Structure 1
Amino acid sequence: MNSLKVATDFLRSSHELVNTPYCKTTKLVTGSLLGALAAILQSAGLFAGIGYAFSVLTTGPIVLATILSIRIGLLTYAATSLLLIFIQPTEVFVFMFTTGFLGLGLGIGFKVCKKRMLVAAAGGFCLSLGIILLLYTFNFPILGPSVSSEFSMGAMLGVLGFSMLYSSIWMALSMAVMQKLNKVIFTKGTT
Structure 2
Amino acid sequence: MRWFSILSQESYKLHHYFKPFSYSKKLVLTALLSTLAAILQSSGNFLPGIGYLISPFATAPILICTMISITFGIQSYVLTYFLLTLIQPGESFAFPFTTGILGLGMGIAFLILKRRIEIIVVTSLLLLGGICFLLYIVHFPILGPIVSTSLSSKLIGFIYIFSFIYSWIWVELSRVIFKKCYQVMGTK
Q: Same fold (TM over 0.5)?
A: yes
Residue pairs, 1:71-86, within 5 angstroms: 71-86=71-86
Q: Name the structure 2 match of 1:31.
A: 30
Deviation, structure 1 residue 184 = 2.4
Deviation, structure 1 residue 11 = 2.8
Q: Which amino acid aligns with 1:11?
A: W
| Alignment check: 8 A CA contact 1:104 1:123 kept | no
Secondary structure, counterpart of 2:98 in structure 1: helix
**TM-score, length-scaled by structure 2:** 0.92
Q: Name the structure 1 match of 2:118.
A: 118
Q: Distance in 1 between matches of 2:74 and 2:30?
A: 9
Q: Distance in 1 between matches of 2:3 and 2:36?
A: 29
Runs of 4+ deviating beyond 3 Å: none
Deviation, structure 1 residue 170 = 0.5
Q: Distance in 2 between matches of 1:68 and 1:168?
A: 22
Structure 2 segments unaligned to the other structure (5+ residues): none
Deviation, structure 1 residue 10 = 3.0
Secondary structure, counterpart of 2:185 in structure 1: helix
Give the share of equivalent positions with the same residue, in percent.
42
Q: Name the structure 2 match of 1:6.
A: none
Structure 1 segments unaligned to the other structure (5+ residues): 1-8
Root-mean-square deviation (CA, aligned residues, Å) is 1.3
Deviation, structure 1 residue 186 = 3.3
Secondary structure, counterpart of 1:164 in structure 2: helix
Q: Distance in 2 between matches of 1:24 and 1:139?
A: 41
**TM-score, length-scaled by structure 1:** 0.90
| 2:87 equivalent to 1:95 | no
Residue pairs, 1:36-51, within 5 angstroms: 36-46=35-45, 47-51=47-51
Q: Distance in 1 between matches of 2:148 and 2:114?
A: 38
Q: Distance in 2 between matches of 1:56 and 1:78?
A: 17
